[in-house]
A and B are shown apart, each in its own frame.
Chain A
Amino acid sequence: MTRYYFSLGLRSLRKAPILTALMVMSVAFGVAASMTTYAVFRAVSGDPIPWKSRQLFFPQLDVWGPASRAAHGYTTLPSDLTYTDAMALMRRRGDIPQTAIYPIEPTVYAQDPTQKPRAIAGQAVFVDFFKIVDAPFRYGSAWSAQDDQDRTPLAVISDDLNQRLFGGTNSIGRDLRLNDLTFRIVGVLKSWRPQPKFYNLANNQAFEEEDDVFVPFNAAIDAQMDSNGDFYCNDDLPATGFAATLVSSCVWVGYMVQLSSPAQISAYGQRLDGYMSEQRQAGRFNWPANYALPDLQAMMQQMHVVPAETKMSVVVAASLLIVCMVNAIGLLLAKFLRRSGEIGVRRALGATRGAIVLQFGAEAAAVGVAGGVLGLLLTGLGVTWMQHVLDPRIAELVRVDALLMLETLLLAVVATVIAGMYPILRAAGVRPAMQLKID
């Protein structure tokens, strides 16, 4: 019987090709616009480390005070710490994994003279970094806590850099010339590229280029490597040069800590509060001790990892889908009620309301499937278009996969069935006697 209804439905759709085409296109455009923007949204809002994101926290301290923050346009605490505070927190780390971090962009000089020197992106970190982010090693391992303390110039490099400089061989123990200093390679990572770059959101590094080198934080400071990220000051630098940045109130050092239980989280909060109270008592500032400890999700919000434009596009596309659905309701209604006579005859001949619902439901579903298939094509076009117009670093994250295709079809069918509900009920409500009388 269902098959019969489908063939009835298809026949009816064929009889009014323009109306059918309008409905199908309406569904297809609405679905395609929504799914295209969703594909972009999904790419930039994804959880880069789902198994651990609830354990990652990013301490922020109110070292500028409310007045100074307001004057500099801050509605939240600065996302970065001063060097002084970051080092103070590191000294009190106990056995909780945590790391100060700042982005660097050293020039790497290859031993092979035919290769041009080039600037590469990297991060200055403490050893816990590798444990916190679960970085996968191909060769070697991270340096030791002792190396951190000894400020040893060591390096962990990316798979990519290892390919470029050493042809992918095991380069452990080899020298890496960064700027004018030599760093010894202790680890080579496997291909690893979390997006967004969650470990240094504080420095607005969400979609920056891939990091090729990681060096001990203290070694980078000793080498006077400048930060390649944010550097915000609310006051004069006390002196000139790199050394001054280390004692200034300028914020430029990111910080990440892994806390595994609610007890640890509250204990760490208390520790931050204690630190700030201590600083206040020492006379460093006169406003109430204030700190924040956002987790990764909150940090992504604060740093606007998902651009406002992307969210706006999703909202606008969803509105389009709603308009398309309203449109589909009107057209289906017109289409179904035009056949009131036919419904009357079928009902008079003994068809139940359920049968009518089934018959018109099949017709609506056929529109939904057709709209879905066309919508799929349009989504493909839309995503290709987005890949052309978006920033290349974001564009490469936007793609059509099986899941997106399935979701597109599903959205089309669900949307059409919802849109079809009222027209179907109206059709099922046609009273046979009325129709037969008129005819």
Chain B
Amino acid sequence: MSIHPIIAALRKHKTGTILIMLQIALTLGVVCNALFVVGQRLDRMHRATGIDEANLLLINTSHTGLKTNTDASRSQLDASIQGDLQALRKLPDVADAYESNSMPLARFGEGLGLRKTADKHGDINGLIFYVDEHAIPTLGLKLIAGRNFRADEIGAHSLLGVVEPPVIIITQHMANELFPAGDALGKQVYMTSSTRPSTIIGIIGHMESNAPHANDEDYVWNCMLLPYRMTASQRIYVIRARPGRLQAATQSVPTALIAQDPLRVIPDGYGDEAGGRTFAQVRADTFRSDRAVLQFMLVISVILLAVTGAGIVGLTSFWVGQRRKQIGVRRALGATQHGILLYFLTENIFISSCGVILGVAMAIGFNLWMETQFEMHRLPLPYIAWGVVALLVLGQAAVLGPALRASKVSPMEATRSV
């Protein structure tokens, strides 16, 4: 079929044609970017943390009565932490436990640099985790090279001290950044504030940090395990419950800790402030805003597509109604039903094509603008391609009903006066 009569007919409906094009273009521009946001959030929420998340429990506790400014008080605090850990590991609900400053996805913690030489340059940034030899089994981390800490390597350390452990374990991401040749194991490195080297004794395949929302990938995947018990009044215990006993552990663990030290505080609170959270809760709290944005963008996309589809149905119906007589004439002159159907489908594909061309430009423009405003990334091609396909299909589907109705117009219409 020649496109010429279609263009001639559209000239008579300039406004309507332009409106549909504009609507398709705007919809494509917004939906591509909205779905890109959805995709990014989904990636972030569903990527592997590298830990075995089931049966994990996080307890946040503080005891401010104990000071950390004298050696005597520090060793008293350290003894109380070791007492806590012994009590926890003995509980029937608990498989393993360790004490720390932070854990994956926790959204609190400390970062530090690591470098190859003792001078103050070339820091690779990452997050630090105070752990003992129980951390790797508790979290279910996979050591891909080297070994775990030994119990005799673990020392007491306060947060405001100089971090210079003799041995450390780092993630492969960080190891590769420091030693691109892949020979990090056994190498000596320096923590930011330290003058004494730390030997890399183990490399973890994959571990997400406590800062999943960081823009800098380094802060997401560079983790350092330090062989320290954190002697600070406020600290966390990470607990692996025995299979099926996580719920029981949420009760028995705080009870055991309070029994160890009746003056300690395990806050009630909700969300981030809660003293005891399963890892599923930690995950939910951390990604709450991502989920909100994701749902919002999905709903908006669905509404946009529905509104645009409805708009096409409405305008095409109007055109069909307007042109009943002409359709009748064409039918009387020998056009088949199929030919009429094809006419409206072709007309729509023509309008939609113009719309999506404009829409691609809008999608890219919108994305560039969002990049400057909201730290968005560049819109990947597949999103645009799928958006184009979706809108073309939507246009054809929307026009199908009115077009079928048009094809059923009887040739008799040609003889009627109205």
B67 contacts partner chain A, Cβ-Cβ < 8 Å: yes
Pairwise interchain contact B62-A107, C-beta atoms closer than 8 A: yes
Pairwise interchain contact B322-A33, C-beta atoms closer than 8 A: no
The stretch of B17-25, B96-104, B387-395 that contacts the partner chain: B17-25
Question: How many pairs of residues, A versus B, come closer than 8 Å at their CB atoms?
Answer: 169
Pairwise interchain contact A327-B310, C-beta atoms closer than 8 A: yes
Kindly provide the distance from the CB of B203 to the nearest chain A CB, expressed in whole angstroms. 26
Kindly provide the distance from the CB of B218 to the nearest chain A CB, expressed in whole angstroms. 10
A side interface size, CB within 8 A: 66
Q: Which of A210-239 contact B (CB under 8 A)?
A: 224, 226, 235-237
Residues of B within 8 A of A117 (CB): 263-265
A386 contacts partner chain B, Cβ-Cβ < 8 Å: yes
Given contact pairs A107-B64, A240-B160, A330-B315, A312 touches B37 in the complex (Cβ within 8 A): yes
Residues of B within 8 A of A119 (CB): 62, 64, 265, 267
Given contact pairs A26-B307, A322-B26, A386-B292, A334 touches B263 in the complex (Cβ within 8 A): no
Interface of A is mostly: helix
B373 contacts partner chain A, Cβ-Cβ < 8 Å: yes
Kindly provide the distance from the CB of B35 to the nearest chain A CB, expressed in whole angstroms. 11
Partner of A179, one of B65, B160, B293: B65
B2 contacts partner chain A, Cβ-Cβ < 8 Å: no
Pairwise interchain contact A107-B265, C-beta atoms closer than 8 A: yes
Kindly provide the distance from the CB of A250 to the nearest chain B CB, expressed in whole angstroms. 10
Interface of B is mostly: helix
Kindly provide the distance from the CB of A322 to the nearest chain B CB, expressed in whole angstroms. 6
The stretch of A51-59, A125-133, A154-162, A389-397 that contacts the partner chain: A389-397
Partner of B26, one of A237, A323, A422: A323
B68 contacts partner chain A, Cβ-Cβ < 8 Å: yes
Kindly provide the distance from the CB of B90 to the nearest chain A CB, expressed in whole angstroms. 24
Interchain CA distance A422-B18 in the complex, whole Å:
13
Interchain CA distance A209-B292 in the complex, whole Å:
21
Interchain CA distance A106-B69 in the complex, whole Å:
17
A283 contacts partner chain B, Cβ-Cβ < 8 Å: no
Partner of B374, one of A25, A109, A312, A320: A312
A427 contacts partner chain B, Cβ-Cβ < 8 Å: no
Q: Which of B192, B267, B300, B303 has the most CB of A within 10 A?
A: B303
Interchain CA distance A390-B292 in the complex, whole Å:
6
* Interface bin, chain B: 35 or more
Residues of A within 8 A of B289 (CB): 307, 309, 390-391
Residues of A within 8 A of B265 (CB): 107, 116-119
A19 contacts partner chain B, Cβ-Cβ < 8 Å: yes
Pairwise interchain contact A241-B288, C-beta atoms closer than 8 A: no
B193 contacts partner chain A, Cβ-Cβ < 8 Å: yes
Kindly provide the distance from the CB of B304 to the nearest chain A CB, expressed in whole angstroms. 6
Q: List 24 A-B contacts (CB under 8 A).
A: A29-B303, A107-B64, A107-B65, A116-B265, A117-B264, A117-B265, A180-B64, A236-B192, A236-B193, A237-B160, A307-B289, A308-B375, A313-B293, A320-B303, A330-B16, A330-B314, A331-B315, A333-B15, A334-B317, A335-B318, A338-B318, A338-B321, A389-B291, A389-B295
Chain B residues near A (Cβ < 8 Å): 15-16, 19-20, 22-23, 26-27, 29-30, 33-34, 37, 62-65, 67-69, 123, 158, 160-162, 192-193, 216, 234, 263-265, 267-268, 270-271, 273, 288-289, 291-293, 295-297, 300, 303-304, 307-308, 310-311, 313-315, 317-318, 321-322, 366, 370, 373-375, 418
- 18 more CB-based (< 8 A) A-B contacts, given A240-B158, A338-B321, A439-B418: A25-B307, A107-B64, A116-B265, A119-B62, A179-B64, A235-B193, A316-B34, A323-B23, A323-B27, A323-B307, A326-B26, A327-B311, A330-B19, A331-B314, A335-B318, A337-B322, A392-B270, A393-B271
